[in-house]
Amino acid sequence: MECHRKLLLALSFGAFALIHLVRAQRDQEGFISLDCGLSPNESPYTDSETGLTFSSDADFIQSGKRGEAEDDENYSYKQFKNLRYFPDGIRNCYNLIVKQGINYLIRAGFSYGNYDGLNVSPKFHMHIGPNMWTAVVVRTEHYREVIYMSKSSLLQICLVKTGETIPVISTLELRPLRNDSYMTELGPLQLIYRRAYTSDTSGYIRYPDDVLDRIWDRYNWFETDVNTTRNVTSSNPFAVPDAVSRSAISPRNSSRPLSFFLSPDEKSEKVSVYFHFAEIQALNANETREFDILLDGIAIHSAYSPKVLQSETKYNISPQKCSLSSCDLDLVRTQRSTLPPLINAIEAFKVLEFLYADTNQNDVNAMKNIQAVYGLNMISWQGDPCVPEVLKWEGLKCSYTNKSTPPRIISLYLSSRGLKGVITPAFQNLTELQNLDLSNNSLTGGVPEFVANMKSLSIINLNWNNLTGPLPKAIQDREKNGLKLTINGNPKLCADASCKNNNQKYVLPVVASTASVLIIVAVMILILVFKKKKPTQVQHEVPSRTSIITQTKRFTYSEVVALTDNFERVLGEGGFGVVYHGSLNGTQPIAVKLLSQSSVQGYKEFKAEVELLLRVHHVNLVSLVGYCDEEGHLALLYEYAPNGDLKQHLSGERGGSPLKWSSRLKIVTETAQGLEYLHTGCKPPMIHRDVKTTNILLDEHFQAKLADFGLSRSFPNGGETHVSTAVAGTPGYLDPEYYRTNRLNEKSDVYSFGIVLLETITSQPVIQQTRERSHIASWVGYMLTKGDIENVVDPRLSRDYYEPTSLWKALEIAMSCVNPSSEKRPNMSQVTNELKHCLTLANSRQGVRQQMSSNSSVELSVSFTSEVTPNAR
């Protein structure tokens, strides 16, 4: 009998719990509650304090890693224990399905809890779509909140890396609101504060007391408390909770106003304030409560009387700026009132200006479909494809009319992305697309007829795929009307319906291309021979091409396999792929760089490097022996550098004695000469774009050879001052001005070289989170302002083994190179001359403690205090 009673009790309790669970789920309709970093195995769960159901964020974001805050922290809510952090990429975005045209309260929660053991507060930005929402510094747990009307059914909340620290997030919550409550027509509303005035200041008021799950701070303003135990109704759209409306404050001095203040971050910001009132005192027949509501001296409502036991909200319909550094909020008693003012709660917001229009929705949908069809998982393909322009997706080019007009996608470059299957019809939905590059992939099937119907398309590159069949007649007709179609490297694809002369139409371009390479090589040899017979009156000393250069040619893949003994000996690995040791003619050692199938670099970078090295020749630039471009196999064959790279020697990776100061100076001076040649000796000039210590190779005589030209770009030698291009480079070495503006010039190489010079002097990592300043330029500047040069110099360089004047001069050169302003940096010719002077001083070993030479060839502008480095994308 007792067992039956316990069973009935358990069933009753279970039914009761089920009813409440169903009711809670119904009440949370439209809520999105993500515990960021929560394991999917623990999802979902019901929070014991709020009754809210939280889920893992794993299905809403494609990047980031799970972390856990330290146990010794006391967290307000369970959600602050877990977190997700984003060490990769610049922009990482949550993708949330919402109702278009609905106001949403968006709340992001952050805790750091020293999850990484570094004790460094993360700093980053939050974006909604393409627009910046707020800057975040995570010291202790806190929330950021905004009320925003979604423009589409997909809402993207993004964390954007702005410096060297890693963005983190603990919770992301969305709550639908009524559109006739908060005014978002003039811009989203970012919460400044939300206060419920009460003498009881313990905890917060939120769900389930507030059905909209706003978080109300219980706030004591040190005025007279007014309370009631009776219920207060709320029939207006704001649905202020009863728990908020049952408490209020009134001024201690009944003849004085009830005053508050509001401080926006910037004086130029507009504010919107929502005052919540309910008369909760029992008034006598002869008593009246009436007051004016003033926002910074402007009446937003005159002679207002709160309604008895009924919540009502008053606010300024037009957002306004504060006249000084803060706004005054005053409730001023009218002359006919017998009672002082009273208020229950205040919500204060600043109005955000979201300037950027989202990319055209049809283009976005098309890109999402293309991404899904081919399984493209590129870290930059998050958030809005085109805006802001500095964060646009890799491989895209967009057209921008103005900030309020949706951008359109006009070029799409998907070369060497491992695409498989047929050419998807999703491409035709990019209706403004002008240039499409699908080369060097594994696409199959025929060239679809819909290509002919893409009216804006003028160039399509389908080279080096596995396409088959004849070209549709409609495409052949489009070619006659200006469409430029290339299909080289598709042996089973033919140009007409007969398919008898397979690919005949495209034999001539291939032959012509090969012939042009041979002609270029022959002409260059003749030029060099001719130059030998002429007096040397050139600006730069360009050594004649050795036998290794005259043998430059195109190798087959089978030849590459033979030269490397079937890729037996690995020399290293980089962004392009693995580098192998090889031998030419059995005697001449070479390095063979083979493109990896998973490489982030591709055919474009390969082609750029081949074309550049075929036309530039300098003793301090690595020489190209040859290249392989055969059915998807890409390889570069270089002269061999048996002493590795500069980075290995500075870090001690190669063992042996540390490099002497004079040897280091010689290496960086020779590197400067190579860069100077690219900038001033080439026609047109070239910008390297990836100068770093791992790209400075050392031959058998420790002569410096600048390598890796896959990112290099031609530079206009007319009146232009820069090239506008997508940002590329290596974190830490990347010019911050180029990063901000996308405007590339030769001073970007100067900045990177300055970082190399600092590395050479200090043997310190470029980025090290445990230093007083994590970036090497900031750290050296910081140490120099303290006069602490001794701790800047590599301790392995004893004063007995270096000439201090030359080292100090080299430091000044380096700091002038990393000046945040490109205009204040020297050019490479000036840097080379100064380093030659340093080298002369170092080799003299006179040890004279003297001031900087007065006949210096360039005045170096040194700035030691600037924060100078963002990360590369």
d(CA 221, CA 219): 6
690 annotated active-site: yes
Amino acid at the residue 49: E
SS (H, E, C) 547-595: HHHHCCEEECHHHHHHHCCCCCCEEEECCCEEEEEEEECCCEEEEEEEE
Q: Cβ distance 627 to 554 under 8 Å?
A: yes
If you search the block for the tokens 């899904």, which residue do you land on?
372
Catalytic residue selected from 690, 708, 735, 794: 690
Angle at 150 between CA 144 and CA 155, to 5 degrees: 70
Q: Is omega for the bond preceding 407 within 30 degrees of 0, making it cis? A: no
Give the closest residue to 817 by CA, choosing from 856, 769, 868, 851.
868
Separation of first and last alpha carbons in the chain: 72
d(CA 735, CA 823): 13
Give 696's contacts (C-beta < 8 A, 6+ positions apart).
645, 646, 647, 667, 671, 704, 705, 706, 707, 756
Question: Does 593 appear as a known binding residue?
Answer: yes
d(CA 673, CA 734): 20
Torsion, CA 726, CA 729, CA 730, CA 734, rounded to 10:
-80
d(CA 666, CA 669): 5
Give 392's contacts (C-beta < 8 A, 6+ positions apart).
385, 386, 398, 726
Alpha-carbon torsion (496, 499, 505, 506), positive or negative: positive
Radius of gyration of the chain (CA): 34
As beta bridge partners, residue 109 has 143, 171
Write the DSSP symbol of residue 319: -
As beta bridge partners, residue 676 has none
If you search the block for the tokens 């140009």, which residue do you land on?
495
Write the DSSP symbol of residue 76: S
Q: Hey, which residues are catalytic here?
A: 690
Binding residues for ATP: 593
